[in-house]
Chain A
Amino acid sequence: MLSVAQIGKEYGPAGPGRVVALAEVSLEVKGGDFVAIMGPSGSGKSTLLSILGAMNPPTTGTVTIDGIDVYGLSQERQADLRREYIGFVFQQLELLPYLTAIENVMLPLAILKMPDKRGKALHALEQLGLDAKKAARLPSELSGGEQGRVAIARAIVNDPPVILADEPTGSLDTESGQLVLELLRELARAGHAVVMVTHNLESRLVANRVINIRDGRCTFPETISACSAGR
């Protein structure tokens, strides 16, 4: 499904000022996996997530989704690939405040010519326990947990095989955070490949694989192959 081979990411000019954000990271994620990427701030986990999300080309190595070399595509095709293969859940959820819940969920469908976008979005919301009444509300009129559900509904509305979540519980209270984690676990059980960046130790309990990153490298287990397999 999602394969990362020996990727590295460096910033800045060549020489001593060069910053190594990621080095020799390899990873295999299959449908049904729930992978938690953990590490302190600045360790490179968000960089890794943006590389997995077809938004940040690595300096070295390759990323393939469903056999497609992500960074061999043009930027426009990368956007198409994000829309078709990847669902994002952001740290602050990032619902657009001027759109209603259902309109937020419809965003990945907005540029597609397809019938009944609204019906599809409502179905995604109902799957996550939000009815039509809540769907018509602005994000500011919803609780934190409900906003989290809307964010997840937006990530799954076009049924992408890969879900990437960047600190999805970071802005939520404990109860809402637990709910979001539970929903992500259910998505993994439903066959989605879920990759979540978190520094919340409790989050690791819901994942079936954990990858630790420090200074851009997998620190436990120590080998690359073990990094791919480790718990």
Chain B
Amino acid sequence: MGLNNIALAHLVRHKGKSVLIILGLATAVAAFVAVMSLTFSLRTTLDGRLARYGASLIVIPQNPQLSLEYGGVTVATAGSAQMALLDPSAVTRVQNIKSKKSLAAVLPVVLRAVNISGADYLAIGTDVASSARVKPWWKVEGTLPAGGDQVLLGLKARNKLRADTGTSLRIGGKQFVVSGVLQETGGEEDNAVIMDRAALAEAAGANAAPNMIEVAVTDSGMVEQVGREIQEAVPGVDVRSVKKSLEFNARANSSLASIGLGATILIILIATLIVVLTMLTEVRERQKEIGVLRALGFRARDVMGLMFRESLLLSAVAAAVGIALGVLGALYGPKIIPSLDLNFAASIPVIVGGALLAIVLAAIATVYPALMAARLDPAIALRKL
């Protein structure tokens, strides 16, 4: 028999107090696991939505001129003298920012007005395949342009040109074949002719310097940070977030998560207080027992060791109970609010964190009572016999 057996026997014998301490710790662990799991789920869900929204940021040159647009009517046309271009090195500088791991795609885009069959159209020159990857809502009838001599038409452009897949179009003195037509997106692409960036530059008789860079970010929490870093890396540009509403949602969810975290910290503090008070009461009630143990040759550190073993055993049970409750809470809690539309994902770090929390809380809550027990004068304790 050693200290472990004594600790276990004591806990089994004093089930009421053991259950109280386990409940206190388990509540803290459950709150932690549930809130952290929900926060992770919120983030995962947001990131999924972010991916569906395509580019997170656009980088455009700062235009020293005032706007040439009024009442939806633009006086200047893209590619004209009024349309500023980005420095070609801007793309490399964006690709090499500090948080480059958070970049899903960096797409330089050339915008030009091109004349096709006597009418002007918006031409978008980009890496079409990469652009299609970050814009999963693009549904193409036909195929994406496979080379510099193919184009993709937006639905409204196709309707105006009456050009289906396989039709030849003359753009700026060069012949192109329509490889596919975009289904209606409801966006600006519906009016556009989309093609390879270099091919557009060549057809329009201009250099391939981009008018803008589309930047897709993998992590919704990194959008602002990436924006700041691009601003620092490429001076003289405007960095605009294209998903203000998503960012607003992200901020709202982040606030919600902060409130949840605050509530969790409060619950943890209260749980710690309950455990400390219970352990202190325990020490007071066990003065006789501690006196006996000291008289039988237990050193102060043995008494402390006994107390810590008891709290470690309790914290192990509390961790299991708390993690189970927390996961259940995170799994079924959001179903109470259907509008939350969350995909719960169990996170190993959160579960490990919950287990560590139980152990650390129990250890912290035991320090003072254990010190009191260890400092108990055996003679005074025995006088209470």
Contact = CB atoms under 8 A, between A and B. Distances in A.
Interface of A: 46, 50, 53, 55-56, 75-76, 79-80, 82-84, 88, 90-92, 94, 96-99, 103, 106-111, 117-118, 154, 166
Contact of A94 (B12, B292, B298, B377): B292
Contacts of B202: none
Interface residues of B toward A: which range? 20 to 34
B288 A94 contact: yes
Given A55-B379, A76-B301, A91 B385 contact: yes
A107 B9 contact: no
B49 interface: no
A118 B5 CA distance: 13
Contacts of A94: 288-289, 292, 385
Contacts of A92: 385
13 contacts: A55-B378, A79-B300, A79-B302, A97-B13, A103-B5, A107-B293, A110-B2, A111-B3, A111-B298, A111-B299, A111-B302, A154-B296, A166-B385
B3 A76 contact: no
Interface in B1-50: 1-3, 5-6, 9-10, 12-14
A107 B378 contact: no
B64 interface: no
B316 interface: no
Contacts of A56: 379
A90 B300 contact: no
A80 B297 contact: yes
Contacts of A106: 1
A82 B296 contact: yes
Contacts of A50: 379, 382-383
Contacts of B12: 98
A117 B301 CA distance: 21
A90 B301 contact: no
B68 interface: no
Tell me whether chain B's interface is mostly helix, strand or loop, or mixed. helix
Interface in B92-133: none
B297 A84 contact: yes
Contacts of A76: 299-301
A106 to B, nearest CB: 5
Contact of A118 (B1, B289, B292, B295): B1
A50 B291 CA distance: 11
B351 to A, nearest CB: 33
A153 to B, nearest CB: 13
Contacts of A53: 295
A79 B1 CA distance: 19
Contact of B295 (A46, A80, A82, A84): A82
Contacts of B197: none
Contacts of A103: 1, 5-6, 9
Contacts of B289: 94, 96
A80 B385 CA distance: 22
B158 interface: no
Q: Which of A90, A106, A166 has the most CB of B within 10 A?
A: A90
Interface string B293-331: 111111111100000000000000000000000000000
Contact of B297 (A83, A96, A117, A166): A83
A77 to B, nearest CB: 9
A108 B296 contact: yes
Nearest to A111: B302
Given A84-B297, A88-B295, A110 B3 contact: yes
Contacts of A118: 1
Given A96-B292, A110-B1, A79 B299 contact: yes
A55 B382 contact: yes
Nearest to B379: A56
Contact of A98 (B13, B288, B293, B377): B13
A114 B187 CA distance: 81
Nearest to B381: A55
A105 to B, nearest CB: 10
Contacts of B296: 82-83, 88, 107-108, 154
